Structure 1
Amino acid sequence: MSLYYGLMGYFLIAALILYYGKQHGKKDSIYLFCTMSVLFVLAALRAHTIGNDTQTYVWLFENISRMSIQDLNTNSRYELGYLYYNKAVSIINGNPQVLLAITSLILIVGYARFIRKYSMNVWLSVYLFLVMGYFGSAVNILRQCIAMIVLLYSYSFIKRKKILPFLICVILATTFHKTAIVFVLAYPISKMRINYKTIGAFTAGTIVVYIVFTRALNVLFSYLPIYQYYLGGKYMEGGIRTASVVSFGITLCIFLVGLCSGAYKRESKLVNENGIATIKENNENQIMTIFLMFSLSVTVISFKFNLLDRMSEYFSVFSIVYLPNILRNFKNKNLSVLLTAVVIVAFTIYFTTIQLYRPDWNYIYPYEFFWQH
């Protein structure tokens, strides 16, 4: 764990030096470069044993490099977008480490762009990106993470109410991971407002869907026989997995903090990186609160069908900017600082516990470079 403790310490010390020392107009960009570039190096140069699925992706890449373009269309196991992406990389260089490096660059830059654009507290968002497990996902579930980056990019179209480019992004994301189709619901639910009626409707709807889900899924599969292999499989076991329960608990806590802070209100106080506060019409927190609530609903339903827990991540990922934003907006600055410290300690303990007792969730510990294996 010394590597990761070193990273955490580096992230926090860099934040103290940059944000609480001499003011600098580009401190967010500097901080992102100094921290995310380190994560990129670790992701790009990792051994093939780092990440549960890395070896599978390396095997797939090596096979695709020997296949023709026409042969790719006959592979029904993986999405075409990811297959063509692999083929393009293999034409550039057939070394699978190049695939991991290019993919890592896409993911790390994509997350950095998202944080830079939407977080009011960049350093805390970067810290959460590491300790909440999103870095671990970036070296593990590559297809879904590429899809997630595309969907995070589409968020700006939701805010600007441009449905056509939003739908194009969703379709593109599904060519990397089919589960990304669930994000098409982000557009209509983003227009909802958080109030007691909305929360009640989501709660009631979740309970109803949970009760009838298995029967409804059987009916759906009878019309879509291509997906019948899910029946009786591991995704239909219905067991409440530890990972899903933990994910639900974390998202619920963040959601409740958002409600208590009043972050869901459309009129918000925004503080820029120079410490200047402005009050303006802003639906950022409103939308992200809705997204977290939807993520909670999907996670509960995933207790019946485990595959759905991946779909909830397309919405819960917004927590890495949502939580820092609501902590920044607390009127009582002492309370804001105290809660920030609590968040840092709590998620540091969470990250340590997962790596020591549940390393199989991502297999990023112990870390190895590719030349060490």
Structure 2
Amino acid sequence: MFIYLLLFGLEIVTIPIYVYEKKLYLIINGTCLWLLMAYRNYSVGVDTSTYKSFFYQSGMYNVNSTLRNWFFPFHARFENGFIFLNHIVYNISPNFQLMIMVTSAIMIVCFTFFVIQLNINYVIGLIAYESIFMANCMNLMRQGLAICLCMVAFAYVIKGKPFRFLLFTYIATTMHVTAWIFLPIYFIRKIKLNKKGIIAFLFVAGVIFLSFETLYTKLSSIIDEAQSFSGDVANNNYNGLTNIIISSAIVIFILYISKQFKNNDLLFIDSQLMLLCALIIYILAIKFSQISRMSLFFMPGLFPILSYVVGYDFKKNRILVTIMIIIGLILYFVVIQKYRPEWAGIVPYSFSF
């Protein structure tokens, strides 16, 4: 736990650098974050050992040339893009540590692009990333890659570049098939966040809630990974209700804060819609907790909202709220890792050297 607190501490004590030279702040702390993720031991992360085994057996797995397998892993354990990435890294050096370094670099580069393009407050952005996303990225390698690629896709949504949005969303799906859930965001953003829009969201959520088990059963018949989790879905056996309640409370709180500001900025409104999508998934996860992971694709909506709330230059009139948000984010991470370390398995931390 100490190494994570040290990272948070570094981001706080270097705030004066952010005030005078924002890019230098991002380089220093982004590099430290990458070093922490890239040089972690194989024991860090519940699923790391699985990815390690796959990496050393990657020569036994060929990239399926069938067109449909470039969209869904039909009767395959892993997606084509992830298999291809393993092949590339393995051919460079048959050392799983290099795979961890490369995937960590991809995640940090995508996140850095996201915060720069959307003008996110770097301090809040880094602390929020480490509090909410880092544990999953160090544990769920494929989904971590997909989530960070979707951050890039969201930046292109805001920039009004649909082709690049589709491209990065597609690349994300070749890392983890659940990234397809992010595709509708380009159309959902056209829905106005009023009573009719919210009712439409709830109606769709209700339909999914009632039909999810049937849909998942059909998916599990063609996708091996879905089949491996079918028992968990049927028995609601995963992170449990506690995780869902905590995560939902955070989303509701951020949405509540955002409603206190009358902001017609497109990024701000789209971020609210992203968090509303995340909340709906968490609500569905009360019955099917396995799908709670999918909410992480929409959680990047919290970055622009928190940046707007605290401001971008740490003005004196927002210092108190900034301190409260920073403390809240760090406490969330500490509480989860202390009382539910088995969720991600990143505590205790150890370096690979």
Interval of TM-score (by shorter of Structure 1 and Structure 2): 0.7 to 0.9
Name the counterpart of 1:191. Answer: 190
Verify the 8 A CA contact 2:268 2:304 in the aligned structure 1: no
Distance in 1 separating the partners of 2:216 and 2:53: 33
Between the aligned partners of 1:222 and 1:98, the Cα distance in structure 2 is 37
**C-alpha deviation, 1:171, in angstroms:** 2.0
Supply the AA of the counterpart residue of 2:28: C
Structure 1 unmatched runs, 5+: 267-281
CA distance change for structure 1 residues 299 and 223 in 2, over 3 Å: closer, same or farther? closer
Q: Once the 2 structures are TM-superposed, how far is the Cα of residue 95 of structure 1 from its aligned partner?
A: 0.7
Tell me which residue corresponds to 1:3: 3
Partner residue in 2 for 1:67 = 60
Cα distance between partner residues in 2 of 1:218 and 1:71: 27
TM-score, length-scaled by structure 2:
0.88
Match in the other structure for 2:43: 49
Mapping 1:1-373, distance limit 5 Å:
1-15=1-15, 17-20=16-19, 23=20, 27-64=21-58, 66-67=59-60, 69=62, 76-130=76-130, 132-207=131-206, 209-210=208-209, 212-214=210-212, 217-218=213-214, 221=217, 225-226=221-222, 229=227, 233-238=231-236, 240-262=240-262, 265-266=263-264, 282-328=265-311, 336-371=318-353
Q: Which amino acid aligns with 2:13?
A: I
User: How far does the alpha carbon of each residue in 1:119-156 deviate from its partner, in whole angstroms, 9 at most, with x for none?
Assistant: 442111111111x2311122111101111222221223
Distance 2:2 2:189 in 1: 41
Specify whether residues 283 and 137 from structure 1 end up closer, same or farther in structure 2 by C-alpha distance, changes over 3 A only. same
Q: Does the 8 Å CA contact 2:107/2:148 hold for their aligned counterparts?
A: yes
Paired with 1:145 and 1:188, the residues of 2 have a C-alpha distance of 24
Count of residue pairs brought into register by the alignment? 342
Question: Could you list the per-position Cα deviations for residues 68-115 of structure 1 after superposition, in whole angstroms to 9, with x for gaps in the alignment?
Answer: 746898971011110011001101010111111111111112112212
* Cα distance in 2 between the residues matched to 1:360 and 1:62: 25
**Partners of 2:118 and 2:155 within 8 A in 1:** no
Instruction: Look at both structures and tell me which one has the larger radius of gyration over its CA atoms.
Output: 1
Contact preservation (8 Å) 1:72, 1:83: no
Distance 1:231 1:363, change over 3 A: closer
Q: Deviations over 1:169-195 (max 9, x none)?
A: 222211110100011111101112222
Gaps of 5+ in 2: 67-73
Give the structure-1-normalised TM-score: 0.83
Q: 1:223 to 1:143 in 2, by over 3 A?
A: closer
> Residue type matched to 1:370 in 2?
S
In 2 relative to 1, CA 72–83 (structure 1 residues): closer, same or farther, beyond 3 Å?
farther
How big is each residue's C-alpha offset from its partner over 1:203-241, in whole Å with a ceiling of 9 and x where there is no partner?
A: 35434543x235xx3267459732584796112223653
Secondary structure in 1 matching 2:193: coil
2:54 & 2:230 partners in 1: Cα distance? 27
SS across alignment from 1:180: helix
Name the CA distance, whole Å, in 2 between partners of 1:68 and 1:326: 48
1:125–1:320: 8 Å Cα contact kept in structure 2? yes
Aligned-CA RMSD value: 2.7
SS in 2 for 1:313: helix
**Sequence identity, in percent?**
25
Distance 2:64 2:277 in 1: 39
Give the match for residue 71 of structure 2. none
